[in-house]
Amino acid sequence: MDYLDQYNLRQHKVAVDAAVRAGVGFIVYTSVVDAENSSLFLAPVYRATDIREYGIPYAFMRNN
């Protein structure tokens, strides 16, 4: 991951952490189709942001 990926990943984690602290009951996360295998420039960030580890109900919106 390059610097921009690391910066974006920190932003994603900060947002999810803030949602947890605020008591959000459901997270809708915008991602990309097939993020696990995509070559799009933000795909590494989408792969690394694992909302499942937070234990909050979630939905992934895979834009295409």
**63 or 8, higher pLDDT:** 8
- Read off the pTM: 0.71
* Cα diameter, the chain: 34
Q: Is the pLDDT of residue 1 over 70?
A: no
The average confidence (pLDDT) of the chain is 81
Task: Indicate the residue type of 10.
Answer: R
pLDDT digits (tens, 9 = 90+) for 17-39: 999 999 999 988 887 777 777 77
Q: Identify which of 7-21, 31-45, 46-60 has the greatest average pLDDT.
A: 7-21
Neighbouring C-beta atoms of residue 48, cutoff 10 Å: 15
Residue 46's pLDDT is 67
Q: Write the CA distances from 25 to 12, 54, 56, integer angstroms.
A: 17, 11, 6
Nearest to 16 by CA among 28, 5, 6: 28
Q: Give the containing element (helix H, strand E) for 12.
A: helix 3-22
The domains of the chain are located at 3-63
